[in-house]
Amino acid sequence: MKTKNYFLEGTLLKVVSAWIVVLILAGSLSAQTFNSDYQDGLIYFKYKDDIVINIPVDEDKSVDLDAIPFISALKNNFSLKSLQRPFDLNNDTKLLHTFRLEFDDFSKIDQIINRILENPEVEYAERVPMDRIYYQPNDTLYNLNNGSSNWNWHLDRIKADSAWNITKGSPSIKVAIVDNAIWALHPDLANKIVLQRDVVYNTNSSNPPNTGDPYTWSHGTHCAGLTAASSDNSIGVASIGFNVSIIAVKAANNNNPEGITGGYTGIQWAANNGADVISMSWGSVGGYSTTNQNIINAIHNMGIVLIAAAGNDNVSSLHYPSAYANVISIASTNGNDVKSDFSNYGSTIDLCSPGGSNTSGPSGLLSTTFSTATYGNYDVMEGTSMATPVVSGLAGLILSLNPALTPLEVENIMKTTSDDIYAINPTYTGQLGAGRINAYKAVSNTPYPPTAHFSTPVTTILPNTSINFKDISSGIPSQWEWTFEGGTTSTSSVKNPTGITYLSPGIFDVTLTVTNAFGTNTLVLPDYITVTSTPTPYIYIAISDTVPCITNSISLSDTSLYNPDAWEWWFDPATVSFQNGTSPASQNPEVKFLAPGTYSLGHRAWNANGMSSANFENLIHVSGAVPDYNLTMEDGTSEYFVLWDTIKSIATVDARAAFESNFGIHMQGNSSPAGWKGAPSTTTAAQAWTGNRSFQSEAHICGVEASGIPYLVLSLDMKQTYSQGVRNSWFRVLVNGIQIPDDHGVMDFNPTTAAEDPWKRLYFDLSAYTGSAFDITLQGCCRFSDKTSGEGDNVFIDNISITNTTITGNKNADETSVTVFPNPSIGIIKVSASPIVENAVLKVISMIGNTVFTKSISARDSKIIQNLDLSFLAPGVYSLSVTETGSNKQINKRFVIR
């Protein structure tokens, strides 16, 4: 009977000859055929704990078959192949009494077990479960997006960004990914992997083999990226573990990427080599193994957190290792916190985590892969296998705050801070564990040695006044001891003492000691409370808007205590203008900012007792633009352009949108484009901009300050792609909400090539809107998301410039002028050119330099307003040029035809 050789371990490879290896690899390796739930030809047996054994064990953990008499007696009858004592974890007594027997005649496994159990010194003999990786591969990238969410929807769901404000993890905390293989050279993993091991072939490489389908070998690499891919590194994906390190353990033989034959050997190796957390996205329903439970117990007793996938069969059956004691069992949820349609459930589940679903919405999790997919070495997978490394990364964050926590304490933190999801999963009440993990609440409630700190509303008070104290210590204290010098009362043991009264003038210390299970810390703030009958102003201010547009004014208010009667305000930088009669000396001034950027604010206030001052660093963030304005996005942001998207669209800054640079704006549609009005080749502009609002995305700048600038041009690099038709991808530019054409008169842009358009530079004349402030919107309307159908429907924008293009030439503005109105127009315009001393030629020139209209005028004609019908021209930006004969004086004016 030909079978897939899951037992090809390093010891076997040392003893078989080369030609046998060739025959094995060349034969049928389709699947295990005797019992798919167990590894063929393997048995665990264990001596009783009180039996003293003295059996020689080689360095490779092999044992001679003749070293154990009752095994030697079975050797010939049952074709025994090899014997090992595979587990010596932490010199655990139970594991040192455990052996693994390998044999060829798979059908006689029950006979061999019964014969072994005849020996009174043997405690048990059992089959070796067959563990497999658990994920639901997504054959396409449909359902990648959840409305306007990004590819990190699973991180958004567990509030990872808020958790990172507390801790981004420590590289000293190591999470072991024990899986089929981990590609250690992946650019998002290479700097995070601190140790590698192949426990099947006993090498120091976790990389997949160069045979077989790279996607099927990507499971472990995908899990590693979800746990601890390099984050904030301008490439690829972010991970919940952020800065934690990875131990990469390959536990599959090179012939079967789905069989984790070395799983328990792998977790033992990880435990012996410094792992703090072990992530196991694999398992079996082959039944309980006492040997594997003993291994789990020994690792748990070393203080290592063990986390395992619950399985993807949508059943409540026991699944191992997730159902073992001392293992945190993880079920999967989708983007709406509903149990994933594939996820197991039941009484042994401890927690849920985002893992995707097979239904509409977020299908899977995007992470690192060995295969080169549509997104390079990144692809989407879904399953409890994906949910598990997310929980493992969170465990790494928790241990980064406090490495002294026990596995049970880590588990308890994640359980007690999880979000209850039973209201939306009533069918599974009591079968999804404590809830779906919440990273922010977990790290917020992680105790560690405390650091005392506190605050009060004020520190200067009048005699016979009481104030309240608030504990803001870190580390989650459980006990507080306060001492208030000069106060009544003078001590307190509550967390937030209130009504502490100071009767007499003076300057007094405050002391706080905080304690929790991990330590004690004391803070003494000398001279913290000042009690005086003659206080200077205690500075308080209020601001109407700390993120204004450059076109808007803001109001400042002084609300300082103790009756101030004089004030002073200043800004850094000083590019501000005080409005409506207010000044730097006003109590409540009104201010307008002359340039975008971040402003610091200073304030002084005086009363009869003296002056007080305060500085507020980087307090006000002003958006907008003052020409010349250039946006390259090389810092990975869109600066003052605010991105906006909808339920069916996405707008981001990413590398795919870059033109001769690193970053640009990327607008795209949805992976499930139901509801699109129109067809790939016939969608009209009205359908795109009116009927398909849910597919639109924007980049908007709130204000361009163009006072005193006569000529202004918006230019940008743009490229479009389409999926099934050119009219699935649209782009346009609006000023103050009104659509404008480029210099060729194009209002609505579609891609034109079969694959993807080349980058092109677009120019939009803004002169009709100068003289004041206006806003600009760059708008895309795309049906499919990136790469879901061919190239997908995309708009890429880079290198945005808003440039003052005032034309000087031979123009003498003091002597002559040209007026065009209305501007913009529909092509019927009036022109006034005055004064003209001699005859002149009036020309209308397109933005590409073609003269499209000519008319001669005399000095006498210049006194008459010229009525021109240019409605035959295409919409666009044009230049009207008046050149006087003889003097060669030339006057230019730009105008827009809609």
DSSP code of residue 156 = H
Name 465's Cβ contacts closer than 8 Å, sequence gap at least 6: 501, 502, 531
> Inter-axis angle of helices 290-301 and 263-272, to 10 degrees?
20
Catalytic residue among 281, 385, 697, 715, which?
385
Whether the upstream peptide bond of residue 584 has omega within 30° of 0, thus cis, is no
How many whole angstroms separate alpha carbon 870 and alpha carbon 877? 12
- 179 catalytically annotated: yes
| Cα four-point dihedral sign 291, 297, 300, 301 | negative
How many whole angstroms separate alpha carbon 748 and alpha carbon 725? 15
How many whole angstroms separate alpha carbon 459 and alpha carbon 529? 5
Catalytic residue among 179, 350, 742, 765, which?
179
Q: Is 740 left (phi over 0), alpha (psi -120 to 50) or beta?
A: beta
Residue 697 near residue 646 (C-beta atoms within 8 A) = yes
How many whole angstroms separate alpha carbon 61 and alpha carbon 847? 81
User: Which of 757, 732, 168, 133 lies closest to 443 in space, CA to CA?
Assistant: 168
Is 205 buried (19+), middle (13-18) or exposed (0-12) by CB count in 10 A? middle
Residue 734 near residue 644 (C-beta atoms within 8 A) = no
Q: What is the dihedral angle through the alpha carbons of 198, 264, 227, 201, rounded to the nearest 10 degrees?
A: 10
Radius of gyration of the chain (CA): 36
Amino acid at 53: I
Amino acid at 549: C
How many whole angstroms separate alpha carbon 388 and alpha carbon 523? 41
How many whole angstroms separate alpha carbon 870 and alpha carbon 10? 84
Catalytic residue among 97, 186, 219, 700, which?
219
User: Which of 632, 656, 646, 643 lies closest to 794 in space, CA to CA?
Assistant: 656
Tokens of residue 852, six digits: 């499209």
Name 165's Cβ contacts closer than 8 Å, sequence gap at least 6: none
Q: Is 504 left (phi over 0), alpha (psi -120 to 50) or beta?
A: beta
Tokens of residue 382, six digits: 């879904």
Coil, helix or strand at residue 536: coil
Active site residues: 179, 219, 385
